[in-house]
C-alpha cells in the first residue's frame, strides 16, 4: 500500500480547511494580541471617513459661459423678389371684322379710353337703321291700339245700358225674352271686344320693347368696333395690323401700367409677423439702383409648398425707369427689438422640444430660457427672450439640466 499519497492528501485538506474556515486564527499568529480593540478600529474609521465623500457627493460639471448684453437690433426683413406691373390687360376683340386702323407700335404711351384697334363696321349700320325703323313703327301703333281699347270700352257701356233696359221692360211685360237674350249676348260680345283691344295694346307695347332691345343690341355691336385702352399705360405689343381679321377673343394689344410699380416677394413664416401694412421698404435692383416704397399687401395664406407669404410693395415710377420683371433685393423695415448675438451652437432644445438657451443663474445653477430667433448672420444668431444681461452657457449646455450646479469658466467671444 502506498501511504505517502494518502498522507499528502490529508495534509493538503487540512491546509485548505485552515485557510477557508480558520483564516482569522492563522492571521492572529502575526499580530500583537495586546493591541486594544480601539486601536484596531481606528484605521477603519479613518478609511470610512475618507471614502464617505466620494460615495455621497457627485462631481460638478465644468461649463463655459459667455457674458452677453442685449442690444437694440433693427429687425428688418430681407427677401428676394421681382418687379411687376401694377396692372396688365390684354385688349381682345368682342366681335369679328377686318382692322381698318393703322397700328400703334409697342413701347408707345397710351391714355385711358384711347382707340387701339378699329374694326370695319360692314352692314352693322344698316342693321341699326332697320331696328330703329321697327321701333318707330311699333311706337306708331300705340295710338291706334289705345283707340281700339277706348272704342271697345264704349261699346261695352252701351251694351250694359241696353241689357239693363231690356231686363226692366221684361219685368213689366213690355219686352220679350228674346230681346233680353239678345241684349245679354251683345254685352258679352262687348266684354270680349274690350279684352281683345287690351290684348292688342299689350302686344303693341311688347313689340316696342323688342324693337328697343334690338336697337340696343345693334348699338352695342357698333360700340365694339373700336377697342379702347382701359387705363394709362405703355403698349407691351404692337396693336393689330391694318387689314388683319379679328375674331371674337382675338388679341388687339397688351397694355401695362408701370406707374406705380409693384415689388413682389415671399417672406418666410418665421418673419411674416414683423411685416406690417404701410411699412417702409427699400429695394436694390441688379444694376445697383435703390428704389423706395411702402408695403401695400400681405398674403393671409401661405404657399403650401414653400410655407412663405407673398408681400407687395408699391413704388412710385413716374419716369418709368423701372421695368416689370427685374430682380430686386427687398428690405422691409420693422420695429427694433432687444436681442443678443450668440453662437448658433449654443442653441438647444428642452424636453418639450422648445428652442432656447441655458444660462447661469444664482449660485451657479443652470436655468433654461426659451428664445425667439430673429436673424441668422455670419457672426452668429440674434435671439430675443433672454434677460438684458445674461451668462449664456456655450460649451457643455447639452450635459446639464435645470437646477444643476456647475463650475463655470468664461469663454472667449468669437463673434
Q: Which residues contact 253 (CB under 8 A, 6 or more apart)?
A: 90, 91, 104, 116, 117, 227, 235, 236, 237, 238, 239, 240
Q: Count CB atoms within 10 A of the CB of residue 218.
A: 19
CATH of range 61-74+337-410; options 2.40.420.20, 3.40.640.10, 3.40.30.10, 2.40.50.100:
2.40.420.20
Q: Which residue has the higher pLDDT, 413 or 371?
A: 371
Return the CATH architecture of domain 256-332: Beta Barrel (2.40)
Average pLDDT in the chain? 85
Task: For the chain, give every residue range classified as CATH 2.40.420.20.
Answer: 61-74+337-410
Give yes or no for residue 43 having a pLDDT over 70. Answer: no
Domain with CATH 1.10.287.620 in the chain: 124-223
pLDDT tens-place string over residues 51-66: 444 444 556 889 999 9
In whole angstroms, give the CA distance from residue 146 to residue 15.
Answer: 153
Q: Which of 214, 215, 208 is nearest to 143 (CA)?
A: 208
Average pLDDT over residues 225-253: 93
Cβ atoms of 252 and 227 closer than 8 Å: yes
Q: Are 222 and 242 in contact (CB under 8 A)?
A: no
User: Which listed CATH number (3.30.565.10, 1.10.287.620, 3.20.20.70, 1.10.10.10) goes with 124-223?
Assistant: 1.10.287.620
What is the structure's pLDDT at 50?
43
Least confident of 31-40, 227-236, 354-363: 31-40
- At 37, the pLDDT band (50, 70, 90 cuts) reads very low
Region(s) of the chain under CATH 2.40.30.170: 256-332
Q: Show Cβ contacts of residue 239 under 8 Å, excluding neighbours closer than 6 positions.
A: 101, 103, 104, 116, 117, 252, 253
Query: Each residue of 299-358: pLDDT tens digit?
Result: 999 988 989 999 999 999 998 889 999 999 999 987 777 889 999 999 999 988 899 999
The whole-number average pLDDT for the span 244-269 is 93
Q: Enter the C-alpha cell of residue 265.
A: 416677394
Amino acid at each position: 500500500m502506498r501511504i505517502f499519497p494518502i498522507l499528502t492528501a490529508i495534509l493538503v485538506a487540512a491546509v485548505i480547511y485552515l485557510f477557508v474556515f480558520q483564516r482569522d486564527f492563522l492571521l492572529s499568529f502575526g499580530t500583537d494580541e495586546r493591541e486594544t480593540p480601539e486601536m484596531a478600529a481606528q484605521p477603519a474609521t479613518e478609511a470610512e471617513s475618507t471614502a464617505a465623500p466620494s460615495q455621497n457627493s457627485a462631481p460638478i460639471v465644468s461649463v463655459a459661459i459667455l457674458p452677453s448684453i442685449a442690444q437694440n437690433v433693427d429687425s428688418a426683413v430681407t427677401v428676394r423678389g421681382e418687379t411687376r406691373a401694377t396692372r396688365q390687360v390684354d385688349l381682345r376683340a368682342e366681335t369679328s371684322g377686318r382692322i381698318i386702323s393703322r397700328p400703334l407700335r409697342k413701347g408707345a404711351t397710351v391714355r385711358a379710353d384711347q382707340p387701339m384697334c378699329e374694326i370695319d363696321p360692314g352692314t352693322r349700320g344698316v342693321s341699326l337703321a332697320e331696328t330703329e325703323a321697327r321701333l318707330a313703327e311699333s311706337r306708331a301703333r300705340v295710338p291706334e291700339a289705345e283707340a281700339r281699347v277706348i272704342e271697345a270700352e264704349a261699346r261695352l257701356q252701351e251694351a250694359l245700358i241696353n241689357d239693363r233696359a231690356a231686363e226692366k221692360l221684361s219685368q213689366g211685360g213690355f219686352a220679350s225674352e228674346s230681346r233680353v237674350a239678345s241684349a245679354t249676348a251683345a254685352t258679352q260680345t262687348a266684354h270680349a271686344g274690350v279684352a281683345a283691344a287690351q290684348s292688342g295694346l299689350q302686344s303693341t307695347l311688347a313689340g316696342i320693347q323688342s324693337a328697343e332691345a334690338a336697337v340696343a343690341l345693334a348699338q352695342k355691336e357698333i360700340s365694339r368696333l373700336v377697342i379702347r385702352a382701359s387705363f394709362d399705360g405703355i403698349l407691351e405689343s404692337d396693336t393689330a395690323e391694318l387689314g388683319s381679321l379679328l375674331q371674337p377673343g382675338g388679341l388687339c394689344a397688351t397694355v401695362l401700367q408701370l406707374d406705380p410699380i409693384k415689388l413682389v416677394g415671399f417672406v418666410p413664416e418665421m418673419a411674416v409677423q414683423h411685416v406690417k401694412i404701410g411699412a417702409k421698404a427699400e429695394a436694390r435692383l441688379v444694376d445697383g439702383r435703390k428704389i423706395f416704397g411702402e408695403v401695400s399687401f400681405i398674403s393671409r395664406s401661405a404657399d403650401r409648398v414653400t410655407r412663405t407669404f407673398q408681400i407687395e410693395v408699391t413704388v412710385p415710377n413716374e419716369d418709368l425707369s423701372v421695368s416689370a420683371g427685374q430682380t430686386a433685393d427687398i428690405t422691409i423695415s420693422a420695429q427694433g427689438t432687444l436681442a443678443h448675438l450668440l453662437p448658433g451652437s449654443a442653441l438647444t432644445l428642452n424636453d418639450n422640444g422648445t428652442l432656447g438657451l441655458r444660462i447661469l443663474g444664482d449660485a451657479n445653477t443652470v436655468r433654461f430660457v426659451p428664445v425667439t430667433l430673429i436673424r441668422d448672420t455670419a457672426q452668429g444668431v440674434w435671439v430675443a427672450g433672454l434677460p438684458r444681461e445674461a451668462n449664456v452657457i456655450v460649451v457643455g449646455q447639452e450635459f446639464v439640466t435645470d437646477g444643476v450646479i456647475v463650475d463655470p469658466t468664461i469663454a472667449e467671444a468669437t463673434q
